[in-house]
Chains A and B, each alone.
Chain A
Amino acid sequence: MKLTVQDLNSHYGPAHILFDIGFEVGEGEVVALLGRNGAGKSTTFRSIVGLVAQRSGRITFEGKDVSTKPTHEIVREGLGYVPEERRIFTDLTVEENLEVGRQPKRPNAPHWTREKLFALFPNLGEMKNRPGGRMSGGEQQMLTIARTLMGNPSLVLLDEPSEGLSPKIVEQMVDAILTMKKEGVSIVVSEQNLHFARLISDRAYIIERGRICFGGTMAELDARPDIRDAHLSL
């Protein structure tokens, strides 16, 4: 298994947010983490990369226990994280944003260069010197993914990549994620949009109020409309 999460519990101060979360991601797999707003998708991701201080449980990445490591060490193991809010460095140019993400080559992961990323996201190549703050939401979303890929991760946590984007950009996003998969990057993508998730994912988990309540292939999920309606529809 590429990534295994077991019994993950997280707190924000006195509030208990995640309850015994567990899921797995296989080598080269794209797994969707589905759930409504506030279900705990982002907190799950933030806990995996160590951005939530109060967390317990076991997180195994490529056979190594990373559950107590600090964020930067987890990321340097090859576990990339793309936050929901994008968190572009607005004062830095596109190239400088990419520079922040740059990490050495990794033997078991595809190697990304600026040129390769500008080929993946042509829009970015046209605005190399534009400050991050003067880009559209879609462009920022591309930049935040490209920035994480500069770290040559073997697995990427993608937090709601389609949120707030126009249909045309969403299409580009689907292409980009499929390209990443083809290159051999394992991906966990959190989504509210089942249609988007279906286009890219092999398997899916559903999270509701901090608990995993379904896990299976996309076909298995489609066979259970009751679950889909109970946990995903508005």
Chain B
Amino acid sequence: MAFYVVQFLTGLASAASLFLVASGLSIIFGVTRIVNFAHGAFYMIGAYIAFTLTERLSGAFGFWGGIVLAAFAVALIGVIVEMVLLRRIYHAPELFQLLATFGLTLMVEDLVVLIWGPDDLVGRRAPGFRGAIDFFGQNIPSYDLFLIVLGPVVLGILWLLFQRTRWGVLVRAATQDRDMVAALGVNQKWLFTSVFAVGVFLAALGGALQIPRDAVHHAMDLRIIVEVFVVVVIGGLGSIVGAFVAAVLVSELNAFGILIFPKISIILVFLVMAVVLIVRPWGLFGKPEAAARKTPGLTVNPWRPLTSNERLMALAALIVAAMLPLFAGNYLLTVGSEIAIFVIFAVSLHFLMSVGGLASFGHAAYFGLGAYGIAFLAKMAGLPMIVCLLLGPLLGCMGAAVFGFFAVQLSGVYFAMLTLAFAQIVWSIAFQWVNVTGGDNGILGLWPSSWAASPSRFYWLSLGVAALVTVALRAMVFSPFGYALRATRDSGLRSEAIGIDAKRIQWTAFVIAGTTAGIGGALFAYLKGSVFPDNLGISLSVDALVMVLLGGVETVSGAVIGAIVYKALNIWLVSQTDLSKLVLGGFIMLIVVVFPKGIVGTLEMLAQRRKKASPPGSPLLAKPIESAE
């Protein structure tokens, strides 16, 4: 019995940091409507700076002073980020904001390694809380007890701040209606900056307070951000009490999940999240969003099928691509195959995102599932390649069917967070369930049959499948199903009113996109000869998003160009520099701020300008979308 009590208390102690970070995310989202992906990065910088300060400053004051100073320092960094980056993108679609802050996260990951090195850093113990308390033969670290008290204290302070100060009243008002607050004479800019500073302060404090408990390392940002997303989805984005309750719930599920499913404890959290989403899609303490802004959509540019001339040009491009083996060496052909595979992946996400209006932040899950599907079939069942290629993507299809069912219940940022959390769960299973998946070591030795073994044949196979998939998905855009999907994207209510079952249509689109991604993953497994948990990791999901965005979300086939340019650039970059995340992160932020329409979108815009004088005041970056009265 004592053991369970101790386990319970450990869970409560873990909840404190989680609550701090989640409440910060919630507050920032509430007012600025930005889901700050970089929140995990701020948490991590908080821990690193606190580590340095507590090492340098001596004594008890040095430790606690170092923790608080670190949080303030990071809040200051947050203020700079808000003023330099975020102020430029408040009016951009939410997807762009998520991506910009993700770009920031990538840069921070490389920067902390540059500054603090790649090794885990073990910090000082907290003065006054070094020991442990004996509880019926079990030890409870006294620092845990400190954290258990701290959580509710911070909750209380935040509550007072929001209920009893003018600043708090303004923040709550702005959470509901930013424009109205401005129309009453409040300067939104400073309100946003101060809110961002408070949110970042909380994240950094959460990170700083972890140093006596855990080693500081350069991957702690992704771990916390996924947990935080789960917390805010369960608790309800924008609710501080919700963040607290959900943080405790998730931490306890983790603490006890280890006892029930020692290998795959994260399943328990997933099950609870699924139940909450079915019963209350907006979280335990959240409120249904008023009609969310459309996810993509900077301008209205009607889509049309290709003209016959354009079809001929596409065909010619394909023929040119197919002639690559005539003059390219093996390395270039492998790169070519990889690019073709990523075209499949990007096109599948593009279908979901641009046509369906559902921006998935965890699309790699289905790509990776396709790859693992191949690995299971080929290694365990020993099936031949052609059978594997036909059946392997079914795993991606099944994953998309299960997760998609829950995900399409939500929209906008909730959808993005949920898909990310699902992908991370699949990743954890692949990583932790070593008996089946080989864990970190992956599954090796997957080789194509002889008919596809040579680089040029594999290249033709990849290219052929990529062309087929692109044509099929394009045809679908202009089919009745595509019309229904686009209607659902543009107005859920109106399409339901004319008899379209919106959720079923979106679910179908999700499954189609997931299966297609699975086809890409299946080819990828054969290309690399192995599968690893990274094949379904977050960074791969984001690669896909960047490819779509780079090509242009609003175009019908921008993803093809985006995938080719991005993948080529990426492969080249990795071969040139060790700091590829830093460069890539900067690149992502640049696209979002300067070229929100992507390559194809920008070309289309230029072409249109040539045709007719540009419409009055149509700027590159969208102005807030207003409804005409």
Contacts and interface: CB of A to CB of B under 8 A. Distances in A.
Interface string A31-57: 000000010101100000101111000
Interface in B290-313: 299-300
A11 B184 contact: no
B614 to A, nearest CB: 10
Interface stretch (B166-174, B498-506, B554-562): B166-174
A71 B172 contact: no
Interface stretch (B106-114, B175-183, B534-542): B175-183
A100 B186 contact: yes
A150 B170 CA distance: 14
A176 B324 CA distance: 80
B616 interface: yes
Nearest to A15: B628
B382 interface: no
B179 A13 contact: no
A17 interface: yes
Among A13, A16, A70, the one with the most B-chain Cβ atoms within 10 Å of its Cβ is A13
A83 B183 contact: yes
Give the size category of A's interface with B: 35 or more
A99 B182 contact: no
A167 interface: no
Contacts of B180: 83, 87, 89
Interface string A91-108: 110001101111100000
A121 interface: no
B177 A75 contact: no
B616 A42 contact: no
A76 interface: yes
A72 B189 CA distance: 10
A91 B238 CA distance: 13
Contact of A42 (B183, B618, B629): B629
A161 interface: no
B580 interface: no
Contacts of B186: 72, 100
Interface size class of B (residues with CB under 8 A): 20 to 34
Given A14-B615, A96-B169, A99-B169, A148 B184 contact: yes
A94 to B, nearest CB: 12
Contacts of B183: 49, 51, 71-72, 75, 81, 83
A90 interface: yes
Contact of B184 (A12, A13, A91, A151): A151
B188 interface: yes
A203 interface: no
Contacts of A53: 623-624, 626
Nearest to A90: B176
Given A75-B185, A147-B184, A100 B170 contact: yes
B626 A52 contact: yes
A38 B628 CA distance: 9
Given A89-B173, A90-B176, A71 B182 contact: yes
Nearest to B179: A51
Contacts of A96: 169, 172-173
Given A71-B183, A75-B185, A151-B185, A87 B177 contact: yes
Nearest to B623: A53
Contacts of A54: 616-617, 623
Contacts of A76: 185
Given A53-B624, A87-B177, A87-B180, A72 B187 contact: yes
B629 A100 contact: no
Contacts of A103: 184-185
Interface string A1-26: 00000000001111111000000000
B300 A92 contact: no
Which residue, of B172, B182, B300, has the highest number of chain A Cβ atoms within 10 A? B182
B182 A11 contact: no
A160 to B, nearest CB: 11
Contacts of B184: 75, 100-101, 103, 147-148, 150-151
Nearest to A38: B629
B628 A100 contact: no
A100 B166 CA distance: 8
B4 to A, nearest CB: 39
B285 to A, nearest CB: 13
Contact of B176 (A13, A75, A89, A147): A89
Interface string B364-390: 000000000000000000000000000
Contacts of A101: 184-185
Contacts of B172: 89, 91-92, 96
A12 B176 contact: no
A101 B182 CA distance: 10
Interface string B605-629: 0000000000111100001111111
A85 B408 CA distance: 31
Nearest to A71: B182
B185 to A, nearest CB: 4
Contacts of A87: 177, 180
Interface string A52-86: 11100000000000000011110110000101000
A49 B629 CA distance: 16
B169 A92 contact: yes
A11 B176 CA distance: 26
Nearest to B615: A14
B623 A72 contact: no
A75 B170 CA distance: 16
Interface in A104-150: 147-148, 150
Contacts of B615: 13-14
B240 to A, nearest CB: 13
Interface string A191-213: 00000000000000000000000
B236 to A, nearest CB: 13
B158 to A, nearest CB: 16
A11 B166 contact: no
A103 to B, nearest CB: 5
A16 B617 CA distance: 11
Contacts of A52: 626
Contacts of B628: 12, 15, 17, 43
A43 B629 contact: yes
B26 to A, nearest CB: 15
A96 B170 CA distance: 9
A18 B616 CA distance: 13
A96 B184 CA distance: 13
A78 to B, nearest CB: 9
A17 B629 CA distance: 9
Nearest to B163: A96
B169 A100 contact: yes
B146 to A, nearest CB: 33
A70 B176 CA distance: 20
Interface in B175-224: 175-177, 179-188
Contacts of A43: 628-629
A99 B171 CA distance: 12
B174 to A, nearest CB: 9
A12 B628 CA distance: 6
Contact of B166 (A40, A70, A99): A99
A89 B166 contact: no
6 closest Cβ pairs, A-B complex: A75-B185, A53-B623, A71-B182, A12-B628, A87-B180, A100-B173
Given A91-B172, A147-B184, 9 more contacts: A11-B617, A15-B628, A38-B629, A51-B183, A72-B183, A83-B180, A83-B183, A89-B180, A96-B173
27 contacts: A11-B616, A13-B299, A13-B625, A14-B616, A16-B616, A51-B179, A53-B623, A53-B626, A54-B616, A54-B623, A71-B183, A72-B186, A76-B185, A83-B183, A87-B177, A89-B173, A89-B176, A89-B177, A90-B176, A91-B176, A92-B172, A92-B176, A96-B173, A97-B173, A100-B170, A100-B173, A151-B184
